[in-house]
Structure 1
Amino acid sequence: MSIVGELGINMTAEGMAALSKLDDLLDTTIEVGYHADQTAADGEHTLAEIAYWNHYGTLHKDGSVMIPARPFMDTVKKHSEELSEFSQQAMSSLETADAVANAIGSQAKSMIQDAIKDEDWVPNAPITIEGGWMMNEYGKKGPVPVHIEGKRSTKPLIDTGTLRQNCHYVIKKGKK
């Protein structure tokens, strides 16, 4: 706000409030997605790991695709203009910097959840849908047989809803 005084600008109360909100948001970071403390249903992995594997995909040792990439987290970047417009509206209509940050975090989270549910991702593989036995080449002592329960759905990322439902945001304040 010091630049306003240096320029000799006499701001309205509304302008001062907006500038104060911007100042409060200056050192605010909104992290959206999955964090290391969120455990997946299998109890062995974190949701962050599951999200990473699904977002980027994984490969078999021979280089063939094991899990196809389904980049649902990219929706925030893909729709950055929409999020920017939303952020401007939040700045104009909400009273505090905390309310603005929470609104932006909630909107970004909703965008990711909608992408998981609505995008046209590569369908699940037949073994994923129907279930059965397969060899997991990444066993601790070499390949091991693994039984897949089957999801009964061709739509990826939504079988239990855990990934979609547990996307969240965290607001961090202070210097990075």
Structure 2
Amino acid sequence: MAGKAKDRWTAEGKKFKAEIEKLKKLQVRIGYQQGDVITEDGVDMLDIAMWNELGTINAPSRPFLRKSVDENADKINSFCKAQLQRLTKGETAEEILKQIGVFSKGLVQEKIVDGEFEPNAPSTIRRKKSDKPLIDTGLMRKSVNYIIVEKGGRK
């Protein structure tokens, strides 16, 4: 034999490999980012979301973020697999991660609106005129967002 055959990458193969490498380094974070949304009262929406998610001394936990993932795990996995298929058709890592972000953001917003949580306290019902938790002005639902960052990185 004269020599070993060398692998030859097509332009499409090189692009695909580069996008896979980008996916290995990036992640989508869904939820709230510190300082992005501040209420009229000067409170960071990240804090409000955390208080609702985990509960406080005065309010029960209403885990809308965890439930949006836990209750939709199969749907999320299927969606992510479908997005990876789009990578083979020329989509970029960023485009795929944006689609995952939009999809996941929608799941969180849906859980805020339709989730079954402990009702508001009587004093809160009097003030809000509703026993539905997590919905008052709609700001928490509207403030859910996503960012794409390097794995292990900060915003």
What is the TM-score normalised by the length of structure 2? 0.81
Please, which of 20, 23, 27 is the counterpart of residue 22 of structure 1? 20
Structure 2 CA distance for partners of 1:175 and 1:159, relative to 1, 3 Å:
closer
When residues 175 and 158 of structure 1 are mapped into structure 2, their CA distance, relative to the original with a 3 A threshold, is: closer
- Select between 86-95 and 45-54 the one with higher mean Cα deviation: 86-95
The answer to whether residue 146 in structure 2 is matched with residue 169 in structure 1 is yes
Tell me, which stretches of 5 or more residues in structure 2 are unaligned? Answer: 1-5
Which shows bigger deviation, 30-39 or 10-19? 10-19
Partners of 1:104 and 1:27 lie apart in 2 by: 16
Q: Of 84, 90, 104, which residue of structure 2 is paired with 1:108?
A: 104
1:94-143, Cα deviation, whole Å (9 max, x unpaired): 5111110101111111111111011111111110011xxxxxxxxxxxxx
Name the structure 2 match of 1:159. Answer: 136
Query: Which structure shows the bigger proportion of residues in strand conformation?
Result: 1
Q: Which has the higher helix share?
A: 2
How many percent identity over aligned positions? 34
Rounded Cα–Cα distance in structure 2 between residues aligned with 1:175 and 1:164: 26
1:124 aligns with 2:139: no
What is the correspondence of 1:48-127 to structure 2 with a 5 Å cutoff? 48-59=46-57, 66-74=58-66, 75-93=68-86, 95-127=91-123
TM-score normalised by the chain length of structure 1: 0.72
Report the Cα distance in structure 2 between the residues aligned to 1:175 and 1:166, rounded to whole angstroms.
Answer: 23
User: Which structure's CA Rg is the greater one?
Assistant: 1
Root-mean-square deviation (CA, aligned residues, Å) is 2.2
Determine the C-alpha separation between the residues in 2 that align with 1:10 and 1:87: 29
**SS of 1:58's equivalent?**
coil
Q: What is the CA–CA distance in structure 2 between the aligned matches of 1:109 and 1:40, rounded to whole Å?
A: 20
Counterpart residue identity of residue 69, structure 1: S
Question: Which protein has greater RCO, CA pairs closer than 8 Å, 6+ apart?
Answer: 2
Contact 1:18 1:91 in 2 (8 A): no
Cα pair distance change 1:174/1:123, threshold 3 Å: closer
Q: Label 1:42 to 1:25 Cα distance change in 2 as closer, same or farther (>3 A).
A: same
Kindly tell me the number of residue pairs found equivalent between the two proteins. 143
* Runs (5+) with no aligned partner, structure 1: 1-7, 60-65, 131-149
Q: What amino acid is the match of 2:63?
A: P
